[in-house]
Structure 1
Amino acid sequence: MDLGQIDYDRLLFYQQARMEAEAAYAKNPLDAENLTTWGKALLDLSQFQIPSESLKLVKDAASKMEEALQIDPRKHDTLWCLGNAHTSHAFSLNDHDAAKAYFGKATQCFQQALEEDPGNEIYMKSLEFSFKGPELHMEIQRQMANQPDASRRSSTSNTKVSKKKKKSDLKYDILGWVILAIGIVTWVGMAKSHIPPPPR
């Protein structure tokens, strides 16, 4: 199976999860677990979208997580997912100060998740990453700013459009890797939580 097919299958899986959560919400809007599932699906779907749509899905995911936390403020996996949404939002921004604010929100969420589930390695790693987030964001912005200025080589508008596209592509490639890393950490955490008991 080629990578395109795998991505397509993942997209269908996340889309199905979103639709099921949306239907379940219509029946019971006070189900914090379902709201968390809905938010996770939206966050996962965001990695398959163009930048403007991706950010909209990240914001929607954060909204679902916040709604779930109004129902159950101590739900650690929801806090962790909300931290991931804030991290994704931060990396989508060009303004470093605005990004720092979202990294700060992510740090708070990861810290609260860890307080609710002490010793959780995934939450600890996420918390460590959130401290490094502003520095990584600044480095990404610096790298994008230092890319060769294509407009100096040619004054055509096509070259300028190409330069902007390359900067945008780099930014969203990096954002994609961040989201992929979050997805892998989520998958490992879910796999660990579903390990069958040892045989007797």
Structure 2
Amino acid sequence: MQEIILASNNRKKIVELHQILAPLQLNLLPQAQFFAQEADESATTFIENALIKARHASKLSTLPAIADDSGLVVPALNGAPGIYSARYAGEHGNDQANNAKLLHAMAEQTDRRAYFVCVIVYLRHPQDPLPLIAQGIWHGSIAHQPQGENGFGYDPIFWLDSHQQTAAQLADNEKNHLSHRAQALASLQQQLQTFTSAKI
């Protein structure tokens, strides 16, 4: 079974990735098993930041790497929080503070459209000239208050008209079928199967 490093320290994200990629029967290892140093996400796009994280993890572990960069885009806020979604309120990974800041920013907005973006990169080695790149987009809107206990990040305020509930009110298996990350991983899975069969 091939070992692949997951370039993330977000435990909930790692669990989600494991659940969605389970059919591929890969041996997915968290980067914390090899090193503690985070990659410097210095780029201005999701795809560039995903590549930075994948190269960083592959170089330090000497293994193939999967990395994602994801975030919430709100058109009424000129795309914010965007690539800064995890640290929107100033402290990386403080979901409650990020949600509170976003709800405050949206208080007077009538256009509450929003969408989650996920870009996932697979590198066979740090200098891989042909990385696999997949993306997914999940459309919704910003709720007026948090609802639900599942998920993480902005899930409690990401409203889905199709289900009349937030992403945080979805069961894990349902979210893992609908989400931006699920869409991106489904695309990545197809590419991995193609590359494996073609022995590229």
Q: Provide TM-score, normalisation by structure 1.
A: 0.33
Q: Which has the higher helix share?
A: 1
Q: Which is bigger in relative contact order (C-alpha 8 A, separation at least 6)?
A: 2
Q: Which has the higher strand share?
A: 2
Q: Which has the larger radius of gyration?
A: 1
